[in-house]
């Protein structure tokens, strides 16, 4: 019941398959959300810095730049500046929403992505699907997190993740950053979903900043 949800917003926290819930509730009810540590998986062994960042974002603070545990820094892939809604999550889950009423409006968005256990040829196919659907051309920026266990097999020729990035984003007309500390990894940042944000990249550094609170 998205009409009821629209008048009773909640902050849903999670990542991976939770991306589907975040996207549906954002698109149909206007909910913001928080990509971050899940109670069942991460909280029993959560680190102090991860927890502090999570509670700071979840409490409504606007963090600029958005910090990462251990002072981890983004890496610039394509230089530029962008502002727009910060939307994303798990790549394979997001691609499965294409063509449904729950795929978010990414026009002018800063898209953030992560995934796990996907062979390079599958990642290539998913980026190709987003490209052919016209999604990648609509973005104002892109931030890539951890792509865990996505290495090519050692015993056969394969695309590499860096080659895939070059193929799809080497000539991007918007800023692209990598190494976001987010995804299927034990130490992760808390990434707000659905708020306006700013991505700034140059030859030396990249920063992602919140422009709004995730708490409505």
The structural domains of the chain, ordered by start, are 2-210 (3.50.30.60)
Residue with the two structure tokens 């700013």: 198
Backbone angles phi and psi of 84, in degrees to 5: 170, 175
Q: Find the catalytic residue in 76, 140, 184, 200.
A: 184
How is residue 90 written in tokens?
Answer: 């798990």
3-class DSSP state for residue 85?
Answer: strand
3-class DSSP state for residue 215?
Answer: coil
Backbone angles phi and psi of 64, in degrees to 5: -140, 110
The tens digit of pLDDT for each residue in 75-120 reads 999 999 999 999 999 999 999 999 999 999 999 999 999 999 999 9
Q: Which segments within the chain are labelled E, that is strand?
A: 13-14, 33-35, 75-78, 80-90, 110-116, 141-148, 176-178, 191-193, 196-201, 206-210
- Flag whether pLDDT at 156 surpasses 80: no
pTM across the whole model: 0.95
The tens digit of pLDDT for each residue in 58-74 reads 999 999 999 998 889 99
Report the C-alpha gap between 176 and 163 in whole angstroms: 15
Report the C-alpha gap between 78 and 67 in whole angstroms: 21
Edge-first strand order for the sheet with 196-201 is: 75-78, 176-178, 141-148, 110-116, 80-90, 196-201, 206-210
Q: Find the catalytic residue in 16, 68, 92, 189.
A: 16
How is residue 94 written in tokens?
Answer: 């997001």
Closest CA to 181 of 43, 72, 83: 72
Stronger pLDDT, 178 or 8, i.e. the higher one:
178
- In this prediction, what percent of the chain has a pLDDT beyond 70? 100
Q: Find the catalytic residue in 22, 76, 114, 118.
A: 114
Report the C-alpha gap between 164 and 144 in whole angstroms: 12
Indicate if 92 belongs to the active site: no
Phi/psi region, residue 14 (left: phi>0; alpha: psi -120 to 50; beta: rest), is left
Q: What is the DSSP string of 67-78?
A: P-GGG---EEEE
Indicate if 16 belongs to the active site: yes
The tens digit of pLDDT for each residue in 166-177 reads 999 999 999 999
- In this prediction, what percent of the chain has a pLDDT beyond 90? 77
């Amino acid at each position: 019941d998205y009409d009821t949800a629209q008048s009773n917003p909640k902050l849903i926290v999670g990542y991976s398959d939770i991306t589907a819930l975040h996207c549906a509730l954002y698109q149909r009810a206007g909910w913001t959300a928080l990509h971050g540590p899940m109670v069942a998986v991460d909280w029993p062994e959560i680190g102090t810095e991860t927890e502090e960042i999570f509670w700071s974002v979840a409490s409504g603070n606007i963090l600029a730049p958005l910090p990462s545990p251990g002072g981890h820094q983004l890496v610039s892939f394509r230089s530029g500046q962008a502002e727009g809604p910060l939307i994303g999550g798990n790549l394979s889950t997001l691609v499965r929403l294409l063509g449904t009423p729950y795929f978010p409006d990414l026009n002018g968005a800063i898209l953030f992505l992560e995934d796990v256990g996907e062979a390079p040829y599958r990642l290539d196919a998913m980026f190709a699907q987003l490209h052919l659907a016209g999604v990648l051309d609509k973005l104002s920026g892109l931030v890539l997190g951890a792509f865990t266990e996505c290495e090519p097999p050692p015993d056969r020729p394969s695309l590499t993740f860096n080659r895939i990035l070059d193929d799809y984003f080497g000539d991007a007309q918007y800023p692209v950053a990598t190494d976001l500390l987010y995804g299927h990894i034990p130490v992760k940042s808390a990434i707000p979903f659905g708020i306006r944000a700013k991505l700034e990249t140059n030859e030396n550094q990249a920063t992602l900043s919140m422009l709004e609170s995730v708490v409505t």
